[in-house]
Amino acid sequence: MSETLWWQHGTIYQIYPRSFQDSNGDGIGDLEGIRQRLPYLTWLGVDAVWISPFYPSPMADFGYDVADYCDVDPIFGTLEDIDRLSADIHKAGMKLILDFVPNHTSDRHPWFQESRISRDSPKRDWYIWRDPAPDGGPPNNWISNFGGSAWQFDEATGQYYYHAFLKEQPDLNWRNPEVRWAMHDALRFWLDRGVDGFRVDVIWHLIKDAELRDNPINPAYEPHQRELNRLLEVHSCDQPEVHEVIAEMRAVLEEYDERVLIGEIYLPIERLMAYYGNDLKGAHLPFNFQLLQSAWDARHIDNLIREYEAALPEGGWPNWVLGNHDQARIADRLGPAQARVAALLLLTLRGTPTLYYGDEIGMVQVPIPPERVQDPWEKNEPGLGFNRDPARTPMQWDDSDHVGFSNAEPWLPVDHRAPERNVATQKQDHSSLLSLYQRLLELRRERKALSIGRYVSVTADGDILAFRRESDGENLLIALNLGGTAHRLMLDEGTTGRVLLSCLGRNEGAEISGSVEIPANEGLIIELAD
């Protein structure tokens, strides 16, 4: 597959390091734990591992508040541990993607500590400081992503600083070139150590309106929504100048070979596409989160796939995401039967798939008793269903007390409700979700049509979604039933084929001709004869 790069034909697996494997019995996952579990990832067949932040951090937002971009938090290990992990990932033929968090630092970062000392501090302008409004209130009406004003008053110097997330996460001022250079050095620090790329946190937030104008009121706001949605984020993010900042980051990666820049971006398709950059000099992969947000409806999904394909810039590589550490678990959103169909969809669409740890065994939202809530968002805006803890619980390796994750009580509760929802059990069972994922990943590696082939839309009719993937004489039909009743899909006159894979494990190898019966909750990959 020399004509495509690893981040194009490969599959990315996201690890939330606190919850993958604890190696030293403190109930929190760590880098050595991940290293010990690499044989599992090799067996599963993923190509790259993205690890959420493991840098030194006060953990106000569990690592998304970074106090040092060039080190490892002792909870997770040491620089030697990441080097060892990186070496073993590469030995296994996989790639390592780090999580880079450039929009904000921790309030404990030495840069912020220095910035807040005085209005004349050399680092004052590294952050976004403003005088109070005439009434003494915040400089503008912007709202934090986690609720409340996005401005925090600092007594010592009588000014407010801006934070798009927690007050413990002050936003850096990316209009200041010194900030850019310092952050480029942090990128080089890791690139020199051999990491293969970055997933860049809230990349569309980096530049704010130069005049910090008020955001307009959102007329469609409803009280069950997050407070952030009271306003339209017109001036607080997605500003035109951000693309220059991203192009500069990309240029740093271009000093090295075959590194990948992935942007975390929650924007509608038409705005998302700009993040590929002018002449594709922006992010290689602006994350496509549409499947996270869309209704599970064949016509709707067919539409969004076609819109996305049509909107891609010439040469822009697509990607698809089914879950992450900020969203409810896919198996919970769709139920166990459709979770299998979703697996097939993710791994047959055109574009780099990103798989969230635990989704391959159908992990669901784990109930968190009030006294064990960890997520700062839940603490800020309680009771509205924003808690991200339920999707961040320990990876379920087996059915022992601490599910094989740790030999101590884990930082978040583990799920004991379903005896088969673990790796050990599902690995033995050829009909399990895990086996389905493993077989899909294998097929995706074997079949160019799946990994890099063309996408051709076929139909969306009732519960049935069908499309084709084609490459060099390989012609695969993907037919999914997103509902609970059987349907017959009519094929073109004279069409014949053979079932390569079935979600339900039925009729694999069967010859079909003229039409194909698709049972409830079934998904088929059919090789068409030419």
Question: Residues with catalytic annotation?
Answer: 201, 255
Each residue 309-328 as x (binds ligand TEU by CB under 6 A) or -, in order, gives: ----------------xx--
28 near Ca ion (CB under 5 A): yes
Supply 497's token pair. Answer: 């084929």
For ligand TEU, the binding residue among 201, 302, 463, 522 (CB under 6 A) is: 201
22 binds, among Ca ion, ligand TEU, none (CB under 5 to 8 A by kind): Ca ion
Strand order of the β-sheet with 159-162 is 129-130, 159-162, 151-154
Phi, psi of 263, rounded to the nearest 5 degrees: -110, 130
Which residues fall within 8 angstroms of residue 446, CB to CB, at 6 or more apart? none
Sign of the CA dihedral running 178, 180, 184, 187: positive
Nearest distance from C-beta of residue 28 to Ca ion, angstroms: 5
CA distance 530 to 519: 25
Is 16 one of the binding residues for ligand TEU (CB under 6 A)?
A: no
Q: Is 64 in the site for ligand TEU (CB under 6 A)?
A: yes
Q: Which of 6, 221, 256, 266 binds ligand TEU (CB under 6 A)?
A: 266
Shortest approach of ligand TEU to residue 47 CB, angstroms?
A: 22
Q: Which residue has the tokens 């294998």?
A: 442
Per-residue DSSP letters for 6-63? HHHHS-EEEE-GGGT--SSSSSS--HHHHHHTHHHHHHHT-SEEEE---SS---TTTT
User: Applying CB under 5 A, which of residues 5, 6, 24, 400 lies at the interface with Ca ion?
Assistant: 24
Give whole-number Cα distances, 6 to 3, 48, 516, in Å: 10, 9, 35
Q: Which residue is nearest to ligand TEU (CB)?
A: 326
Nearest by Cα to 467 from 289, 321, 311, 302: 302
What tokens does 51 get?
Answer: 């690890």
| Binding flags for ligand TEU, 175-194, as an x/- string (CB under 6 A) | --------------------
22 lies in the binding site for Ca ion (CB under 5 A): yes
DSSP class of 144: -
CB of 30 to ligand TEU, least distance (A): 19
Nearer to Ca ion, 139 or 394 (CB): 394
CA nearest neighbour of 18 among 75, 56, 100, 66: 75
The interface partner of residue 171, options being ligand TEU, Ca ion, none and the CB cut-off 5 to 8 Å by kind, is: none
Q: How many CB atoms lie within 10 A of CB 156?
A: 9
28 binds, among ligand TEU, Ca ion, none (CB under 5 to 8 A by kind): Ca ion
Does 30 help bind Ca ion (rule: CB under 5 A)? Answer: yes
Output the smallest distance, CB 323 to ligand TEU, in A: 12
- What letter does residue 237 receive in the DSSP assignment? S
Minimum CB distance to Ca ion, residue 74 (Å)? 10
What is the size of the binding site for ligand TEU (CB under 6 A)? 11
Q: Give the amino acid at 414.
A: V
d(CA 280, CA 508): 41
Considering the rule CB under 6 A, would residue 420 count as an interface residue with ligand TEU?
Answer: no
Query: According to the binding rule CB under 5 A, does residue 78 interact with Ca ion?
Result: no
**Interaction between residue 527 and Ca ion (CB under 5 A):** no
Question: Would you say 171 or 522 has its CB closer to ligand TEU?
Answer: 171
Strands (E), 433-486: 454-461, 464-471, 474-481
Give the shortest CB-414-to-Ca ion separation in angstroms. Answer: 15
Using the rule CB under 6 A, which residue among 31, 67, 75, 202 binds ligand TEU? Answer: 202
Name which position in 165, 198, 356, 455 contacts ligand TEU (CB under 6 A): 165
Interface residue list for Ca ion (CB under 5 A) = 22, 24, 26, 28, 30
Interface residue list for ligand TEU (CB under 6 A) = 61, 64, 101, 145, 165, 201-202, 264, 266, 325-326
